[in-house]
Amino acid sequence: MIIAQQARQQLRALIEGEECLFPASVYDPISVRIAGELGYELGMFGGSVASLTVLGAPDEILLTLSELVDQARRMTRAGSLPIICDADHGYGNSLNVMRTVEELENAGIAGLSIEDTELPRQFGNADGKRLLSVEEGVGKIKAAISARQDGSLVIVGRTDAASITNIEDVIEWLTAYEEAGADVLFAVGIKTGKQLEALSAETRAPLMLGGVPAELMDRGELAKGRVRICLQGHQPFAAAVQAVYDTLNALRQGTLPADLAGVANKEMMSRLMESHAHRQNVDAFLK
């Protein structure tokens, strides 16, 4: 738990700073170690990549809480990188949110986001998303705060209102989450600088953005708008899928293993597996 507390304190220092950071999209122990080795300050464990990694399924709330927590625990034990976990809607109502916070906190996550989208999609609403009422969203944020045992665990209040309704609802929902005590305010779907300016002017807490267009991905300008975290997407998982596909296809077509391109060498594999530390344990305890 000491390592988890340190990771949470690092995340809090980052969101209380002056910079905007692009977190590494991580999904398993090796991706966490790679991100740490490359100097990323934090990682993001998205709901979509969680579903793909564990189930090979789309992001339709098919993953269970226990499956999410198990994968999160595997990731946090692999390194000290602070990780924010997409906890979707908290897997149910406000009481389920409390259980979600308890489980992810025990798994060592540094922060988690709770969103206000009606999930899973209800019968008769298969073609679109709907927002929860602001009152229910506030209840979930308050429940999350009440459930955490470590006060340094970062609670992120998320709204998808920008892609469902309008910027006015983004401001209303996130202002309410701020008043409820959310540590970070997360808006998905902000598309223009004017929208960001309006959100920044009406709130005080650190901001987090997702799904922003390329023209807004200037870290300096985002930082001026009090954005401390901006997601770039989950390309690393897609790149890994392509690499596996290409490698298996090449082997299937007759390429010799020694002639394959883009394969991590033995030194990299050994380093990411932390083979040296394991070798020391073997020498210390198995001889």
3-state secondary structure the chain: CHHHHHHHHHHHHHHCCCCCECCEECCCHHHHHHHHHCCCCCEEECHHHHHHHHHCCCCCCCCCHHHHHHHHHHHHCCCCCCEEEECCCCCCCHHHHHHHHHHHHHCCCCEEEEECECCCCCCCCCCCCCECCHHHHHHHHHHHHHHCCCCCCEEEEEECHHHHCCHHHHHHHHHHHHHHCCCEEEEECCCCHHHHHHHHHHCCCCEEEECCCHHHCCHHHHHHCCEEEECCCCHHHHHHHHHHHHHHHHHHCCCCHHHCCCCCCHHHHHHHCCHHHHHHHHHHHCC
The arithmetic mean of pLDDT across residues 127-153, rounded, is 94
Which band of pLDDT confidence, cut at 50, 70 and 90, is reported for residue 122? Answer: confident
Which band of pLDDT confidence, cut at 50, 70 and 90, is reported for residue 126? Answer: low
Cα–Cα distance for residue pair 223/151, rounded to 1 Å = 25
Same domain, yes or no: 205 and 274? no
Q: Chain-wide mean pLDDT for the chain?
A: 96
Same domain, yes or no: 21 and 119? yes
Closest among 113, 101, 109 to 76, alpha carbons compared: 109
Same domain, yes or no: 57 and 155? yes
Same domain, yes or no: 65 and 112? yes
Same domain, yes or no: 88 and 139? yes
Same domain, yes or no: 94 and 222? yes
Cα–Cα distance for residue pair 42/98, rounded to 1 Å = 24
Q: Which domain holds residue 272?
A: 240-285
The pLDDT, as a whole number, for residue 127 is: 65
The pLDDT, as a whole number, for residue 149 is: 97
pLDDT tens per residue across span 204-239: 999 999 999 999 999 999 999 999 999 999 999 999
Same domain, yes or no: 256 and 196? no
Number of domains in the chain: 2
pLDDT greater than 90 at residue 120? no
Same domain, yes or no: 171 and 230? yes
Same domain, yes or no: 67 and 206? yes
Which band of pLDDT confidence, cut at 50, 70 and 90, is reported for residue 128? Answer: confident
Same domain, yes or no: 88 and 194? yes
pLDDT tens per residue across span 255-270: 999 999 999 999 999 9
The arithmetic mean of pLDDT across residues 268-283, rounded, is 96
The pLDDT, as a whole number, for residue 269 is: 96
Same domain, yes or no: 19 and 77? yes
